Structure 1
Amino acid sequence: MVPLNVEGSKQYYATSSLVVGYALCSSLLAVINKFAITKFNYPGLLTALQYLTSALGVWVLGKLGFLHHDTFTIENAKKFMPAALVFYLAIFTNTNLLRHANVDTFIVFRSCTPLLVALADTMFRKQPLPSKLTFVSLLIILSGAFGYVATDSAFTLTAYSWAFAYLVTITTEMVYIKHMVTNLGLNTWGFVLYNNLLSLMLAPVFWIITGEYAEVFDALASNAGDWFNSTAFIAVSLSCVFGLLISFFGFAARKAISATAFTVTGVVNKFLTVVINVMIWDKHASPFGLICLLLTIAGGVLYQQSVTGAPPASKQVANESEAEKFLSDEEKGISGKISGV
């Protein structure tokens, strides 16, 4: 019989490994995707390759018995299509934001989602007004965001147009789609399969709308041997692999720890992303912009503390279960594309 302390130690290290794996994947993914879109300037094709990797990965792992996912059916696909469309738009605008702006700009706008979600909840879902602590945290987020935008030397209309488009789509996804998806009764890996497979089917439509297909064909015709070089191959491969990894570690860690701990881990990851981004290259904000960025993230941490404070013991499990439904794709590891769906 294995002693209890040995079992407890194994469980502790297993849980710690999952949390560390998720933290590393989450913090690195935004930087990896920025690197990928810099070397492979075709956002539609890049995201399609990511969808293909994640969907194929789930299908293969299911066949090998490592995981279980719901069977793909036309009926469920029809019900899920609106969710997949909004998901696709969120990832599509996110990738184009990284194409035209740096990682710091993405993090600032991503950190502003609690502010819009709180407003949307109050206006459309008739939720009560935020508490004083929540209101203060939202003001901190807003102040940091304004400070960053005001001092952003890399400000361009194109970049910020994509940023606002991303902000609108990710907020829509967080407020509306979560409720619809929960009612479909899919398990977590079934959600990943449907999300990525349907998004892959939508990709050709956006290639035609944006005209990206013509750019790819022109690149192939003019420079067939160099349009996808070894550096681009490594960057895209890393992006796809880390997209699948964050799905695994995100779901596994979410099952192993509480919703509150998982949410805080997702927010703190952004600090590590900022550090990595500053260390590896010069594609980041000015010193004052970084201070504003850190202020925005700090507001996000304070916001999470204000909305996930310890509830009464009788309501702890119910509240954590409800909180999990409204975590962002990035924090759940669902999207597996941009750290931080």
Structure 2
Amino acid sequence: MSTQVNTSAAKQADASGFAAFFKNPVFQQFQVVFAIGFYAVCSSTMLVINKLAVHFLPAPAIVLFFQLLSSAVAVMLFDGLGWVQSEKLVWDKIKPFMLVVIAFLGAIFTNMKTLQYANVETFIVFRSSTPILIAVLDYLFLGREMPTPRAWLSLLFILSGAVAYVMTDADFQIKAYAWVVAWFCVFAFDQVYIKYVCDTVPMTSWGRVYYTNILSLIPVTLLGLGFNEHTMIAEFTWTGPSIYALVLSCLCGIGMSYSAFWLRSLVSATSFTVVGIMCKIGTVIVNCLIWDKHASPTGLAALAVCLLAGSFYQQSPMREKPQGA
């Protein structure tokens, strides 16, 4: 998959204890590759780890609360030690992040509810159909060109694979697919608006991680109370595997938060979405090794079509502004 760097965003380097590494010419030349690799490691494992976490603790809002808290505390600790630089909370930057929080929480919570009621392959294939909508939104709101014929063909094959999978899914559940549809709508807004904030609000990636996670704590607490998940804490048995799964999900959440904001600042919203789909190749491999809820061979073949087609996607360039605009 070919990508083009958003040069204005790419020049915003995080001033931190790792500044020398970030300024290294080799890193600067290949930072999109590094960003994709880092995001791929986090993304390909996060889905399965979240699946395990909600399996042991069937309360997505509680799991999410621990992830948000650990990420915010980690940024404060790293900033205090001088390892990274994170902006302090100021109202002018809190305002645009209000919608970021809504989109972020909505996408993650509906993601977890989907994983609670459906197998991982179901979620992956529905996600594989999102780039078509994101590509149009990229054109309408973020100044990108419409996709090339090659890119459209790639996105249509992704959609075809998704439709083929749904037709062969033996675990069809109305409730599960209702959550998938809810996630789909929220996810589209999440991809476009957060990219807009990354392009228009000058901040370090660690600052964006801190703002998003710290501002999300109160809403996710209210969300948990609304779904009566707080009653599950007293009934939950804290065993070794459940604690390990929760801690591991928190650690992955820190890496996922940073890698996502870093990569968003370098590529288009559609490219970020397609990269996320490609990352799920690792998720499928891990899931087939440890989990018992799998699609049929035909369904997995349809999934493979989605992933292969995504590898041929080509990012659309920015539109040229009219003279005098």
TM-score (norm 2): 0.79
Q: 2:127·2:277 contact (CA, 8 Å) conserved in 1?
A: no
The Cα of 1:253 is off from its aligned counterpart by 7.8
Q: Tell me, in whole angstroms, the C-alpha distance in 2 between the residues paired with 1:268 and 1:130.
A: 18
Q: How far 1:130 moved relative to its partner?
A: 3.3
The answer for the alignment partner of 1:307 in structure 2 is: 315
Closer, same or farther in 2 for the Cα pair 1:124/1:59, shift >3 Å? closer
Structure 1 outlier segments of 4+, above 4 Å: 7-22, 121-129, 248-255, 262-267
The equivalent of 1:298 in structure 2 is: 308
Instruction: Report SS of the residue matched to 1:68.
Output: coil
Q: CA deviation at 1:208?
A: 3.0
CA-based RMSD:
3.2
Give the structure 2 partner of residue 149 of structure 1.
166
Aligned to 1:72: 89
Question: CA-to-partner distance for each residue in 1:168-191, whole Å, 9 max, x for gaps?
Answer: 111011223421443222221110
Counterpart AA for 1:41 = P
In structure 2, the partner of 1:160 is 177
> What SS does structure 2 have at the residue aligned with 1:302?
coil
User: Which residue number in structure 1 is paired with residue 239 of structure 2?
Assistant: 229
Structure with more of its chain in helix, by fraction: 1
1:170 & 1:254 partners in 2: Cα distance?
14
Stretch of structure 1 that moved more, 129-138 or 65-74: 129-138
SS in 2 for 1:307: coil
Q: Distance in 2 between matches of 1:140 and 1:182?
A: 30
Structure 1, unaligned stretches of length 5 or more?
1-6, 312-318, 320-341
Percent of matched pairs sharing the same residue:
36
Gaps in structure 2 of 5+ consecutive residues: 1-23, 319-325
Task: For 2:57, give the aligned amino acid.
Answer: F
Deviation at 1:53, TM superposition (A): 0.7
1:184 aligns with one of 179, 197, 201? 201
1:287 aligns with 2:297: yes
- 1:28-177, aligned counterparts within 5 Å? 28-121=45-138, 129-177=146-194
What per-residue deviation string (whole Å, max 9, x for no partner) do you get for residues 260-294 of structure 1? 9x968654322121111112222221111111111
Deviations 1:270-323 (A, max 9, x none): 2121111112222221111111111112222222xx226xx7xxxxxxx6xxxx
Query: What residue identity is the alignment partner of 1:307?
Result: Q
Check whether the contact 1:26–1:269 (CA below 8 A) recurs between aligned residues. Answer: yes
Residues 128, 153 of structure 1: CA spacing in aligned structure 2 closer, same or farther, 3 A cutoff?
A: same
Aligned residues of 2:209 and 2:258 also touching (Cα < 8 A): no
Amino acid of the residue matched to residue 271 of structure 1? I
Is 2:157–2:306's contact at 8 Å kept on the other side of the alignment? yes
1:246 matches 2:219: no
Count matched residues. Answer: 292
Q: How many angstroms apart in 2 are the aligned matches of 1:123 and 1:14?
A: 28
